[in-house]
Amino acid sequence: MAAPARGEQVVLPTTLGGEPTGLGRFGEYGGRFVPETLVPALEELEAEFRTAWVSDEFRAELGDLLTNYAGRPTPVTECRRLSERLGVRVLLKREDLTHTGSHKINNVLGQALLTRRMGKQRVIAETGAGQHGVATATAAALFGLDCQVFMGAVDIERQALNVFRMQLLGAEVIPVSSGSATLKDAINDALRDWVASVESTHYCIGSVVGPHPYPWIVREFQRIVGDEAREQCRTRTGGDPDFVVACVGGGSNAIGTFTGFLETAARLVGVEAGGHGLESGQHGASVSRGVPGVLHGARSLFMQDEDGQILSAHSISAGLDYPGVGPEHAQLAAEGRAEYVYATDDEALAGFQLLAETEGIVPALEPAHAIGWLAREAGRSVPAGSTVLVTLSGRGDKDANQVAEMLGETLG
């Protein structure tokens, strides 16, 4: 399959990727640990997704939206100056160039179509950095759906631009002040709303987390990132990259990317939030430091204390500030098919500036972790001369204020 050229219609694969086994299991991870009230809606969603995926009408409509609304396919950009600086060949998969500025739109358009097929009039979503909230609000505006977005009070503060964007798009942003007032707590409140509203509302989960079927359907909607990138790399370099790197919070851009390269020889690297360093305990490195547990409907790896209470994560980036990871990542780590590393807040900030200065691309703080990790490891665990594909999951406009503040600059 050749990647479509810019302007050419995106065609979705006719088959689904590797399905979870049993009740949504990836190895021992996954599952459907939810209040009874939600079980029928999850069964309905799975059935609708299966029917939709084999419907020519659904596939044509989603393909058209991805092409003519979201701007797919996104290019792969060769980074000449950065490559020279690091001594490795760096290619970027440019999800920052999609409409709304991140990979989140891929999933949201798919789920919005499912919402309409199920006859529901309202969508709710959680958001951390605000990118998924903006994407959901966008799709809701496009489809004429009511939209409410749950967002931690801490994140509302640090992502003020995205809050305003959601409001412009007609969504209501609901502040969440319980717990750590970040992404984890926003998911809790979205689930609580859904327990009350499930008959009329679709919960548009933004990552490969949550109860079955979410980790699977969100992966299928994000798989386009990796499928495109693989063909684009082959066209450009004549082969597969040595390393495929993506940041991991819940892990949707990473799983979308990795899925396209599972059958290649590429080393798959997920970069988690190292926060103030793993020894500090102030981080979001759930694969590196988490233990198996059950939260938000799935068994996966979570940061928790000796009694099984979930710990607060910390990250400079709201989108990675989550004490868990999607179940398929937990399984890829267990199999050793993907490896999970981290970049600290400082390294992410350095990556943010490095990409801006060398390539004229301002990344979001989330993928800045992937750049920061590569900058640290190039010539070390990433041998000189390697070809490295990095998924640039989103653009950094939303982070400009926060970064300016951290660098001691005052914006007018």
In the complex, the residues that contact another protein under the rule CB under 8 A are 23, 31-41, 178-179, 184-185, 188, 191-192, 195-199, 292-297, 299, 302, 304, 307-310
Report the alpha-carbon distance of residue 191 to residue 197 in Å, rounded: 10
- Taking the least distance from each CB to another protein, the nearer of 13 and 292 is 292
CB proximity list for 264: less than 8 A, separation 6 or greater: 230, 240
CB of 205 to another protein, least distance (A): 13
Tokens of 9: 């219609």
Q: Which CB sits closer to another protein, 208 or 295?
A: 295
Question: Between 44 and 346, whose beta carbon lies closer to another protein?
Answer: 44
Q: How far is the CB of 299 from another protein (least distance, A)?
A: 8
Both structure tokens of 285: 């490195």
**Per-residue exposure over 161-194, b if at least 16 CB sit within 10 Å of its own CB, e if not:** bbbebbeebebebbbbeeebbbbbbbbbbbbebb
Going by the DSSP 8-state scheme, the letter that residue 38 receives in this structure is G
Q: Among residues 331 and 358, whose Cβ is nearest to another protein?
A: 331
Nearest distance in Å: CB 248, another protein: 20
Q: What is the CB neighbour count within 10 angstroms for residue 308?
A: 11
Cα distance between the two ends of the chain: 49
Q: Are 110 and 148 in contact (CB under 8 A)?
A: no
Q: Least CB distance from residue 304 to another protein, whole Å?
A: 7
**Residue 22: CB minimum distance to another protein, A:** 10
Nearer residue to another protein within complex by CB, 211 or 367 = 211
Nearer to another protein, 104 or 299 (CB): 299
Of 153 and 294, the one with the shorter C-beta distance to another protein is: 294
Question: Taking the CB of residue 385, how many other CB atoms lie within 10 A of it?
Answer: 10
Q: Which residues are within 8 A (CB) of 230 and not within 5 positions of it... i.e. 6 or more apart?
A: 240, 260, 261, 264
Q: Where do runs of H (alpha helix) occur along 89-197?
A: 104-117, 131-143, 153-158, 160-168, 183-197
- Would you call 79 a catalytic residue per the annotation? yes
Question: Is 103 a catalytic site residue?
Answer: yes
Q: Are 229 and 93 in contact (CB under 8 A)?
A: yes
- Could you tell me the smallest distance in angstroms from the CB atom of residue 177 to another protein? 11
Active-site option among 99, 103, 202, 296: 103
CB-based burial label for 36 (10 Å; 0-12, 13-18, 19+): exposed
Asked if 310 contacts 323 with a C-beta cutoff of 8 angstroms, the reply is yes
**Least distance (Å) between residue 38 CB and another protein:** 8
CB 292 within 8 A of CB 308: no
Concatenate the DSSP letters of all residues of 264-317 into one string: SSPEEEEEEEEET-GGGT-S--HHHH-EEEEETTEEEEE-B-TTSPBPPP--SS
Enzyme catalytic residues: 79, 103
